[in-house]
Amino acid sequence: MTGKAKPKKHTAKEIAAKADAATTNRGGGKAGLVDRTGLEKGGHAKFECPHCKVTAPGMKSMQIHHEARHPKIPFEEEKVINLHAVLAPVVATKPKPGIRGSLKK
């Protein structure tokens, strides 16, 4: 028997949240490697503030951040660090096992 105010079944909201969590790429693991390195789509953290090291996806967002957080310093677009140009993508590959699943040769 269940107590008062305890639902016996899952709610539609809970089921939808579980389905969303299971099917949406959150950027981790192998699926998010391309996004983190910024090879194809550009990734999320493209620009870095030279003063406080906060990242932003675009130059307009970085300009808004700069005007809000550093109002006394003039915004200079050439001083903003482009992380995709600076950081080289790190791609590590594991050796594939042989026919019988062994790494020995």
Provide the pLDDT for residue 69. Answer: 95
**Token pair 């969590």 is at which residue?**
21
Provide the pLDDT for residue 95. Answer: 66
Average confidence (pLDDT) over 26-55: 73
In 3D space, the residue among 33, 17, 45 whose CA is nearest the CA of residue 92 turns out to be 33
- Percent residues over pLDDT 90 in the chain: 25
Which tokens in the block code for residue 8? 């016996």
The reported pTM is: 0.48
Contact 72, 78 (CB under 8 A): no
**pLDDT tier at 20, thresholds 50, 70, 90:** confident
Give me the chain's average pLDDT, please. Answer: 77
Residues 93 and 63: their CA atoms lie apart, in Å, by 38
